[in-house]
Chains A and B, each alone.
Chain A
Amino acid sequence: MDNKKNTIDRREFLRRLGAGAAVTAVAAAAGCGSRNNPVAGDRTAQGEIPTDKMTYRTNPKTGDRVSLLGYGCMRWPTVSKTSARDSSDEIDQEMVNRLVDYAIEHGVNYFDTSPAYCKGRSEHATGVALSRHPREKYFIATKLSNFAPETWSREASIAMYRNSFRELQVDYIDYLLLHGIGMGGMEALHGRYLDNGILDFLIDERKAGRIRNLGFSYHGDIEVFDYLLSRHDEIGWDFVQIQLNYVDWRHAKEVNTRNTDAEYLYGELVKRNIPAVIMEPLLGGRLARLNDFLMARLKQHRPDDSVASWAFRYAGSFPDVLTVLSGMTYMEHLQDNLRTYAPLEECTPEELELLEQTAQTMLRYPSVPCTACQYCMPCPYGLDIPSIFAHYNKCINEGNVPASSQDENYRSARRAFLVGYDRSVPRLRQADHCIGCNQCVPHCPQGINIPAQMRRIDDFVESLKRGAEF
Chain B
Amino acid sequence: MLRKIRIAFATVCFASITLLFLDFTGTVHEWLGWLAKVQFLPALLATNFIVVGVLLVLTLIFGRVYCSVICPLGVMQDLFGAAGRRSKKNRYGYSPALSWLRYGMLVLFVASMAAGAGLVIHKLALIIAPYSAFGRIVSNLLAPLWQLGNNFLAYVAARIDSYAFYSVDVWIKSWATFATAVVTLVVIGILAWRNGRTWCNTVCPVGTVLGFFARFSLFRPVIDTSKCNSCGLCARNCKAACIDPKAHEIDYSRCVACMDCIDKCRHGAISYKRREIKRSAKAAAEPLPQQKAVATSVRPIAATDTPQHAASVQPNAEKGISRRKFLSITAMLAATAAAKAQEKKVDGGLAVIVDKKIPERQTRIVPAGAGSIRHFAAHCTGCQLCVSVCPNGVLRPSSGIEAFMQPEMSYERGYCRPECTKCSEVCPAGAIVRIGAAEKSSMQIGRAVWIKENCIPLTDGVECGNCARHCPSGAITMIPSDPSDDGSPKVPMVNTERCIGCGACENLCPARPFSAIYVEGNENHRTV
Contact = CB atoms under 8 A, between A and B. Distances in A.
Contact of B466 (A378, A418, A425, A433): A433
A232 B378 CA distance: 82
A267 interface: no
A435 B419 contact: no
Contacts of B349: 374, 377-378
Contacts of A382: 350-353
Interface string A52-65: 00000000000000
Nearest to A439: B462
B508 to A, nearest CB: 6
A425 B343 CA distance: 7
B342 A466 contact: no
Give the 8 A-B residue pairs with the shortest CB-CB distance, closest first: A437-B462, A419-B341, A422-B341, A377-B349, A435-B464, A382-B353, A435-B466, A378-B351
Interface string B429-465: 0000000000000000000000000001000101111
Nearest to B507: A432
A435 B462 CA distance: 9
Contacts of B353: 382, 428-429
B346 A435 contact: no
Given A433-B508, A433-B510, A420 B466 contact: no
Interface string A396-424: 00000000000000001001101111111
Interface string B461-495: 01111100110000000000000000000000000
A280 interface: no
A384 interface: yes
Given A382-B350, A423-B158, A432 B508 contact: yes
A435 B463 contact: yes
Contact of A435 (B341, B351, B417, B510): B510
B326 interface: no
A421 B163 CA distance: 11
Given A423-B343, A426-B344, A416 B163 contact: yes
A429 B463 CA distance: 18
Given A435-B465, A435-B510, A437-B464, A384 B167 contact: no
Contacts of A433: 466, 508, 510
Given A435-B465, A437-B464, A466-B417, 16 more contacts: A377-B350, A378-B351, A381-B510, A382-B350, A382-B353, A412-B163, A416-B163, A420-B163, A427-B343, A427-B414, A432-B508, A433-B466, A435-B463, A435-B466, A436-B463, A455-B469
A381 B344 contact: no
Nearest to A459: B469
B340 interface: yes
B235 to A, nearest CB: 57
Contacts of A387: 346
Interface string A433-450: 111111100000000000
A333 B418 CA distance: 52
Interface residues of A, number: 36
Nearest to A416: B163
Given A382-B353, A428-B353, A438-B463, A465 B417 contact: yes
A60 B455 CA distance: 69
- Give the one of B350, B414, B417, B464 with max A CB within 10 A: B350
B340 A419 contact: yes
A424 B346 CA distance: 9
B166 interface: yes
A380 interface: yes
Contacts of B342: 422-423
B345 interface: yes
B470 A432 contact: yes
A283 interface: no
Interface in B133-177: 158, 163, 166-167
Contact of B346 (A418, A419, A426, A438): A426
Interface in B330-380: 340-346, 349-353
Interface string A379-390: 111101001000
A384 B341 contact: no
Interface residues of B, number: 31
Contacts of B167: 422-423
A384 B350 contact: yes
Contact of A422 (B166, B352, B470): B166
B150 to A, nearest CB: 13
Contacts of B466: 432-436
23 contacts: A378-B351, A380-B351, A382-B352, A418-B341, A420-B163, A420-B341, A423-B158, A423-B343, A424-B344, A425-B344, A426-B346, A427-B343, A427-B414, A428-B353, A429-B350, A433-B466, A433-B508, A434-B466, A435-B466, A435-B510, A436-B465, A436-B466, A465-B419
A467 interface: yes
Contacts of A422: 166-167, 341-343
Contacts of B469: 436, 455
Contacts of B419: 465-467
Contacts of A384: 346, 350
Nearest to B355: A428
B350 A415 contact: no
A377 B208 CA distance: 65
Chain B interface secondary structure, helix, strand, loop or mixed?
loop
Given A382-B352, A426-B345, A437 B340 contact: no
Contacts of A378: 349-351
Interface string B493-526: 0000000000000001010000000000000000
B334 to A, nearest CB: 16
Interface in A349-394: 374, 377-382, 384, 387
Contacts of B344: 423-426
A63 B470 CA distance: 62
A235 B177 CA distance: 88
B401 to A, nearest CB: 32
A467 B419 CA distance: 8
Contacts of A432: 466, 470, 508
B463 A423 contact: no
A387 B510 CA distance: 19
A429 B158 CA distance: 19
Interface in B397-420: 414, 417-419
Contacts of A434: 466
A428 B509 CA distance: 11
Interface string B177-202: 00000000000000000000000000
A427 B350 CA distance: 13
A405 B382 CA distance: 38
B430 to A, nearest CB: 27
A416 B344 CA distance: 15
Contacts of B456: 435, 437
A447 to B, nearest CB: 20
B508 A419 contact: no
Contacts of A412: 163
Contacts of A374: 349
A425 to B, nearest CB: 8
Given A382-B351, A416-B163, A419-B341, A436 B346 contact: no
Contacts of B470: 432
A434 B460 CA distance: 15
Nearest to B470: A432
A366 B343 CA distance: 26
Contacts of A465: 417, 419
A168 to B, nearest CB: 53
A420 B414 CA distance: 18
Contacts of A435: 456, 462-466, 510
A433 B351 CA distance: 13
A374 B350 CA distance: 10
B343 A426 contact: yes
B171 to A, nearest CB: 13
Contacts of B465: 435-436
A385 B133 CA distance: 45
A400 to B, nearest CB: 9
A84 to B, nearest CB: 39
B463 A437 contact: yes
